[in-house]
Amino acid sequence: MKKILFVTSFRNLTISGQLQEPFELLPGINITNNPRIKSKILSRNLFRIIGQIEYDHLTQQESIVFCEFDEQELHELDTAQFLLVLLLWIKNLFRTAWILKDHCMECDAAYLIKDWSQKDREYSNNFLAQRTLLANGEIEPIMFSIEELNNWRDLNHKIEERLHAENSGEFDFFMEKEYLRSARALHFIHSATTSRNLAFRIAHYCSALETLFSTDAAELSHKLSERTAFFLGSFGHDKAKVFKEIKAAYGVRSKLTHGDSINKKTIEQLPHISKTLDEYLRQIFAILYGADWAVEHIDSAPKKIDHIFAEMIFNGKTFIEAANEYQSS
């Protein structure tokens, strides 16, 4: 059966070691840095279709991302619609990659090519209209080992499976009451990582923390700083240090929200504040999707969350201890 080809590349990604075979990142979608496989996919026929500039760009990339699939897999979508679906999968894959490490990966021009005969041709191209920066506002390539590629793929499958099952996926409205708290926080993190203004980035990070740990708007800055500190304190962080840093971030957010200015010293601290929040949130999500599957506790009712944090703050319980105690009560 004749195949339809999808091909693109990920900017700012380096793979340590050569992949002997295509590595499946998403169902049916592979990445390779193997010159032999690349030359097979990047044929002269592809050059004829996409043109010299784009062809040269793909051939010069260290790795390419590709898929060859049957027409029935389009499920009655045209190539433009199906290409958009593939790009949304990649967008979520980048979101998952952030949980593993800070990155500024981008998806360059992507192509979906059906070129079977003179009378049976259909070409589509698109790209992810998002430009990411590292937490400090810079752009640098990141490196994944083959082991990290495996972790990336497995974690993405784990997250996507849960979000889909809980009606909290890409095509669900994230302000619905039933939408998972953790999934909503990921939307704010995405907004942060694609914001080129560090003050806005910090504000989005604060919104992500609110989404995870807040249940009301009372004394928000203090309560959220405290809850973040006690949560991370359960996993080895210095609570006083975390509290102080979250409060500093909220100071920036407050100034931004009310259209106020900040002094030069604070401006100089923005890269540090942004990077600190980014690292804290990454560690939080690593914990949530870790061995104890703590994400189910965070995605529970506000009453349970309030109880968990009250036990942590007043009775010295760890997050997992307080959550498990609530489960058994």
Every domain of the chain and the residues it spans: 4-126, 176-328
Predicted pLDDT at 329: 60
pLDDT digits (tens, 9 = 90+) for 33-42: 999 999 999 9
Percent over 90 (pLDDT), the chain: 82
Q: Answer whether residue 78 shows pLDDT above 60.
A: yes
Buried b (16+ CB within 10 A) or exposed e, 286-302: ebbbeeeebbebbbbee
Predicted pLDDT at 125: 94
Instruction: Kindly indicate the confidence band of residue 217, based on its pLDDT and cuts at 50, 70 and 90.
Output: confident
Predicted pLDDT at 135: 97
* Average pLDDT, integer, range 264-274: 96
Angstrom distance (rounded) from CA 45 to CA 317 = 64
The amino acid that residue 284 corresponds to is I
Angstrom distance (rounded) from CA 163 to CA 184 = 10
Predicted pLDDT at 65: 98
* Average pLDDT, integer, range 273-297: 93
pLDDT digits (tens, 9 = 90+) for 140-180: 999 999 999 999 999 999 999 999 999 999 889 999 999 99
Helix (H) or strand (E) segment spanning residue 68 = strand 64-69
Which string of DSSP letters, residue by residue, matches 264-295?
A: HHHHHHHHHHHHHHHHHHHHHHHHHTSTT-TH
Largest CA distance in the chain: 74
Half-sphere exposure of 133 (CA within 13 A, CB side): 16
* Average pLDDT, integer, range 66-86: 88
Angstrom distance (rounded) from CA 69 to CA 3 = 5
Query: Which letter does DSSP use for residue 126 in this model?
Result: E
List the beta bridge partners of residue 120.
Answer: 117
Query: Which letter does DSSP use for residue 184 in this model?
Result: H
Instruction: Kindly indicate the confidence band of residue 246, based on its pLDDT and cuts at 50, 70 and 90.
Output: very high
* Average pLDDT, integer, range 126-138: 92
Q: Answer whether residue 116 shows pLDDT above 60.
A: no
Predicted pLDDT at 53: 93
Instruction: Kindly indicate the confidence band of residue 117, based on its pLDDT and cuts at 50, 70 and 90.
Output: low
CB 3 within 8 A of CB 116: no
Instruction: Kindly indicate the confidence band of residue 118, based on its pLDDT and cuts at 50, 70 and 90.
Output: low
* Average pLDDT, integer, range 10-22: 95
Helix (H) or strand (E) segment spanning residue 66 = strand 64-69
**pTM of the prediction?**
0.93
Predicted pLDDT at 302: 94
CB 121 within 8 A of CB 13: no
Q: How far is CA 142 from CA 11, 14, 90, in A?
A: 10, 6, 17
Angstrom distance (rounded) from CA 240 to CA 206 = 18
Which string of DSSP letters, residue by residue, matches 85-115?
A: HHHHHHHHHHHHHHHHS----EE--EEEEEE
When the pLDDT of each residue in the chain is averaged and rounded to a whole number, the result is 93
Q: Answer whether residue 228 shows pLDDT above 70.
A: yes
The amino acid that residue 210 corresponds to is E
Angstrom distance (rounded) from CA 195 to CA 199 = 9
Two structure tokens written together for 41: 């996919």
Predicted pLDDT at 3: 81
Which string of DSSP letters, residue by residue, matches 223-246?
A: HHHHHHHHHHHTTT--HHHHHHHH
Q: How far is CA 14 from CA 18, 55, 57, 109, 275, in A?
A: 10, 20, 16, 18, 22
Instruction: Kindly indicate the confidence band of residue 75, based on its pLDDT and cuts at 50, 70 and 90.
Output: confident
Predicted pLDDT at 121: 78
Q: Answer whether residue 294 shows pLDDT above 60.
A: yes
